[in-house]
Structure 1
Amino acid sequence: MNILKAPSWLSQFNFPYTSFEAVPQSVFDSINIDLDNIQHPEPLVSIVIPAWNEEVNILRSIASLAKLKTTIPLEILVVNNNSTDQMQKTLDHLHVRSVFQPIQGWGPARQMGLEEARGKYLLTADADGLYPPEWINEMMAVLSQPGVICVCGRYSFIPSPGFPRWKLTVHETLKGYLADARHLKRPHLNAYGISLGYVREYGLKIGYVMRKVRGEDGRMCFDMMQYGKVKQVKSSKARVWTGTRTLQMEGNGSYSRALWLKVGIELRRLGGMFVAQSPHDTKTSLND
C-alpha cells in the first residue's frame, strides 16, 4: 500500500458531477454495458448496498462494482432507505435492482436487502465505497471455505485536504493491528458494512436489528458465530476505498482530533478486548 497516494485505479471513478441532472447519459450507458456483462439472472452472490441520499456517490460505487473482474454469478441490489434527494432517479438509469425501505436506519435497510437478495451468499457494500476489481474473488475465496460463516474485509481512506495519505496510513495501520487483536476473542467487532460477507441462509435466521442504532453489522456477525467461523480478509486486492467525510465529522475537520478520539475510545475498551463477549440479546443491547 502506497503511503503517499491512493491507487491510480480510483481516478476513473472521480466523476465531477454534483447532482443527477449533471450526469450525461453517455456515463450511464458506459456503466450499464459493464453491469450487463457481470450480472447474472441466477446469482450465487448478491452484493447489497443500503443507501440514503447518495445520488452521486451511488453512481461512483456502482461504477466501481461494474468493473469487477470475476466469473462468479452475481447481482447488485440497492436499498433506497427513504431518500429525499434524487438517488432513485440515478438508480432508475442504471441496470441494477433497487427496492425502497421506508423505515429509516442501517438495520432496516440491510434487512430488506437480505430478504430481497437472490444469492446463496451476500456481500454488503456502502454507497460511498469504491471497490477494487478482485474484491468479490478475494472475499469469496475465504467465505467459501468449509465452516466459514462470515468474512470481514478492510478499507482505506482516499486523501482529502487536511487528511493527507501518509496520515491516513498511520490511522489504517493502527486500525489493522487493532483488528488482529479483536479477532482473537471478539471478531464481530471487525464487521463493517463497507466490506462484509456472509451465508444468506443464516442471515435470514438471525436478521438485523430493526431500529436505528450503529453496529448493526457487528450484531449480525456476533449472532452468526453460533453457526460457524468468522474470518478476516486481509488481501490488498480486496481493500475497499472510501472518502474521509466520517473522519472529518468525528474530528470536526481535524485529523489529529479524529485520531485521538479513536485512540481514547479503544483504550477504554482495551480491558475487555481479550475476553469473549457474553451471549446477549443483540436486538435490544446498547452501544457502550
Structure 2
Amino acid sequence: MNILNAPDWINNFRYPFASFNDIPQSVFDAINRDLEHVQSKNPEVSVVIPAWNEEVNILRSVASLAKMQTDIPFEIIVVNNNSTDQMQDTLDKLRIRSVFQPIQGWGPARQKGLEEAQGKYILTADADCLYPPDWINEMMAVLRQPGVACVYGRYSFIPSPGFARWKLALLETLKDSIAEVRHMKRPHLNTYGMSSGYLREYALKVGYVMHKIRGEDGRLCFDLMQFGSVEQVKADNARVWTGTRTLQKDGSFSRTLFLKIGHELRRLKGMFVAQPPHDTKTSVNP
C-alpha cells in the first residue's frame, strides 16, 4: 500500500476534462489503439462496468483497463444505466461494447452486463475507478482455483484536498483489518462491485436484485456461496484506486473516520456468526 503518494501509473489517467466536449479526438485515438491490442473477440473474461452520468470518468476507467498486461483474453462492456449526460457519446467513440439498461439501479445495470457478457468469468468494475495493469491476472489467479465461486479485491483512495494520502492509508488499514474479521463468517459483506469476480454460469442462476438498493454486489455474492467459496485477493498490485467523492459527502476526513468506526463497532458482534439464509432480493439494508 502506498502511504504517502498514489502510484505513478495513476498519473496517466488524470485527464483534466470537465465534459465530453472537452475531450480531443487524439485521446480517443490513443485509448482505442490500446483497446485493439488488449481486447479479444473470444473472451474468457468479461469486465462489466455499470455507469450513470460518467461521461469523463468512464474515459479514465476504460483507459486504465486498456493498459492491462495480461495474456487472458477479455472484453470490456459498459452498461449505460439511463444516463442524462453525454456518456453515450463518450462510449460511442471508444472501441468497446456498450449496452443500455433503462431500469435505474446498480443491480439492474450489472444484471444487464451479466446477460450480455461473452466470457466464462465476470470481473466487475466501476466507472469512477482506475485499474492497475496486473488487476485481471491477480483476480483470475484466485477465481480460477477449484471450488471458488466469487472473489473480491481491495481498494485505495486517490488523495484530494483535505484528504491527504497518509490519512487515507490509515483509513484503508482499518478497512482492510475489518475486512479480515468479516471474511471469517460474512465474506459477502466485503464484496464491492468496484473489484469482484465470479463465474457467469452461477451468477445467471441467482441473478442480481432488480431494484435500486445498495449492496447489490454483496447480495449476489451471498447467493453464490451455495456454489463454492468466497476468496479475497490481497495482492497490492491488484488494488483498485478510486476518488474521495464518497468520503467528501461526510464533510471532512475526521468525520468520515468517526462515522465509519462507529458503524463498524455497532455491527461488530454480528460479524462472528454466519448470516442466516434469507431472500436477498427482498431484504432491506439496516
SS at match of 1:273: helix
In structure 1, the partner of 2:151 is: 151
Distance in 2 of aligned mates of 1:214 and 1:262: 16
Distance 2:44 2:268 in 1: 39
The Cα of 1:73 is off from its aligned counterpart by: 0.5
Quick one: distance in 2 between partners of 1:284 and 1:191?
19
Q: Which residue of structure 2 lines up, in the alignment, with residue 182 of structure 1?
A: 182
Counterpart mapping for 1:247-262 below 5 A: 247-249=247-249, 251=250, 253-262=251-260
> What is the CA–CA distance in structure 1 between the aligned matches of 2:214 and 2:263, rounded to whole Å?
15
Alpha-carbon offset, residue 62 of structure 1: 0.2
Q: Secondary structure in 1 aligned to 2:179?
A: helix
Q: Residue 156 of structure 1 aligns to a residue in which SS?
A: strand
The C-alpha deviation readout for 1:132-168, integer Å capped at 9, x for no partner, is: 0000000000000000010010100000000000000
Question: SS where residue 205 of structure 2 aligns?
Answer: helix
2:239 paired residue number? 239
Question: Does the alignment pair 1:214 with 2:214?
Answer: yes
Give the TM-score of the pair, scaled to structure 1: 0.99
**How is 1:1-288 mapped onto 2 (pairs within 5 angstroms)?**
1-249=1-249, 251=250, 253-288=251-286
CA-CA distance at 1:258 after TM superposition:
1.0
One-letter amino acid of the structure 2 residue matched with residue 46 of structure 1: S
Measured in 1, the distance between the counterparts of 2:164 and 2:230 equals 33
TM-aligned CA deviation for residue 37 of structure 1: 0.5
C-alpha distance after superposition, 1:196-235 (max 9, x if no partner): 0000000000000001100000000001001101000000
Cα displacement (A) at 1:237: 0.8
1-structure distance, mates of 2:177, 2:203? 28
SS at match of 1:208: coil
Q: Spell out structure 1 runs of 4+ moving beyond 2 A.
A: none
SS at match of 2:267: helix
Distance (whole Å) between structure 1 residues aligned to residue 154 and residue 264 of structure 2: 18
What are the superposed Cα offsets for residues 16-47 of structure 1, whole Å, 9 maximum, x if unpaired?
11111111101000000000001111100000
Q: What amino acid does structure 2 have at the position aligned with 1:164?
A: A
Q: Distance in 1 between matches of 2:281 and 2:35?
A: 36
Shift of 1:259: 1.1
Q: Distance in 2 between matches of 1:138 and 1:2?
A: 18
Cα displacement (A) at 1:2: 2.3
RMSD of aligned Cα (Å): 0.5
Could you tell me how far 1:69 is from its partner in structure 2? 0.2
Separation of aligned partners in 1, 2:73 and 2:239 = 21
Once the two structures are superposed, residues 110-148 of structure 1 have per-residue CA deviations (whole angstroms, 9 ceiling, x without a partner) of: 000000000000000000000000000000000000000
- C-alpha distance in 2 between matches for 1:44 and 1:12: 27
Counterpart CA distance in 1 for 2:268 and 2:129 is 29
Gaps spanning 5+ residues in structure 2: where? none
| TM-score, L = length of structure 2 | 0.99
Identity %: 73
